[in-house]
Amino acid sequence: MRFISRCLMLGVTILAGIAVAGLPDAAAQQAYPNKAITIVVPAAAGGPTDTVTRLMAESMGRTLGAQIIIENIGGAGGTLGITRAAKAPADGYTLMLYHVGLSTSASLYDNLRYDTLNDFDAIGRITDVPMTVVGKSTLAPRNIAEWIAFVKERQQGVTYGHAGIGSASHLCELLLSSALGIKLTTVSYRGTGPAMNDLLGGQIDTMCDQTTNTTNQIKEGRIKGYAVTTATRISALRDLPTLDEAGLKGFEVSAWHALWAPKGTPKDIIDKLTAALQSALKDAKVIDRFAGLGTEPVEMAKATPAALKTQLEAEVAKWGKVIKAAGVKGE
∠ at Cα 324 (323, 328), nearest 5°? 60
Interface with ligand ASP, residue 44, by CB under 6 A: yes
Cα–Cα distance measured from residue 271 to residue 209, given in angstroms and rounded to the nearest whole number: 32
The residue among 155 and 188 lying less far from ligand ASP, judged by its C-beta, is 188
Total interface residues for ligand ASP by CB under 6 A: 16
Binding mask 183-222 for ligand ASP (x = CB under 6 A): --------xxx-----------------------------
For the chain, the residue count is 331
Please give, one letter per residue, the 3-state secondary structure of 131-160.
EEEEEECCCCCCCHHHHHHHHHHHHHHCEE
Q: Which is nearer to ligand ASP, 167 or 295 (CB)?
A: 167
Phi-psi region of 41 (alpha: psi -120 to 50; beta: other; left: phi over 0): beta
Paired sense of beta strands 185-188 and 94-98, if any: unpaired
**Residue closest to 39 by CA, chosen among 3, 87, 2, 92:** 92
If the CB atoms of residues 46 and 266 are measured against ligand ASP, the closer one turns out to be 46
- Beta-carbon contacts of 161 under 8 Å, excluding residues fewer than 6 positions away, are 169, 186, 187, 188, 189, 192, 195, 196, 198, 199, 204, 206, 207
**Segment interacting with ligand ASP, rule: CB under 6 A, options 45-53, 135-143, 226-234, 296-304:** 45-53
Coil, helix or strand for 266?
Answer: coil
The SS3 assignment for 121 reads: strand
x/- letters, 98..117, toward ligand ASP (CB under 6 A) = -x-x----------------
Binding to ligand ASP (CB under 6 A) within 295-324 occurs at none
Residue closer to ligand ASP, measured from CB, 266 or 292 = 292
Ranges within 148-187 binding ligand ASP (CB under 6 A): 162-163, 167-169
Nearer residue to ligand ASP within complex by CB, 76 or 148: 76
Closest to ligand ASP by CB, 162 vs 302, is: 162
- Shortest distance (Å) from residue 186 CB to ligand ASP: 12
Least distance (Å) between residue 81 CB and ligand ASP: 10
Positions touching ligand ASP (CB under 6 A) are 43-44, 47-50, 99, 101, 162-163, 167-169, 191-193
